[in-house]
Amino acid sequence: MHVHHEGFDVRTHGKGLYEITDAAQSKIDKSGVRNGTVTVFVQHTSCSIVIMENADPTARRDLEEFFERLVPEDVDYFTHDAEGSDDMPSHIRMVLTRTSETVPIGDGKMQLGTWQGVFLFEHRSVPHRRKLFLTIMGE
C-alpha cells in the first residue's frame, strides 16, 4: 500500500462554497494511486469540507442561506467574538458540518456521483488563506 500526503492552500474571498474537486484530483493523479481512498482535511476551526451538488449553483446558495438562518450572527447569547460577530457562528457551522471528507478512488479517479463535488465551505466574512491536507492511500 502506498500513502501520499500533500497540502495545498485555498484563498477565499468571504463566505461561500469553493469547489476543490479538481485540485484534489490533481493531487491523486500526482500520487499514482489507482485504487484506494483520499481524505481531504482542512486545518481550521471556522470553515469545513463538504460534498455538495456542483451542477446547479442555486443549491449551494440555498445551503449558504440555510446556515445563515440556522446559526445567525450578531446575537446576544454568543460571548466568543474575539474576531468579530461571525467568529462563534463560524465555529458552530464548522461543528455542524465536518473538517474532512473521505472519498473512494477507483481507476485513479474519485468515485463521486454525477452531481457531486468536494467543497471548502468558508464560514467567515473576510478573505482567508485556508490550509488543506490530503492523505491518499491505496495501490
pLDDT of residue 116: 98
The answer to whether residues 127 and 12 touch, using CB atoms and an 8 Å cutoff, is: yes
User: Which residue shows C-alpha cell 469540507?
Assistant: 49
Its pTM stands at 0.96
Distances (CA, A) of 25 to 28, 56, 61, 102, 119: 5, 21, 24, 13, 13
pLDDT along the chain (139 residues), means of 10: 97 98 98 98 98 97 98 92 92 97 98 98 97 98
For 23, other C-beta atoms within 10 Å of its C-beta total 17
pLDDT of residue 74: 87
What's the pLDDT score for residue 56? 96
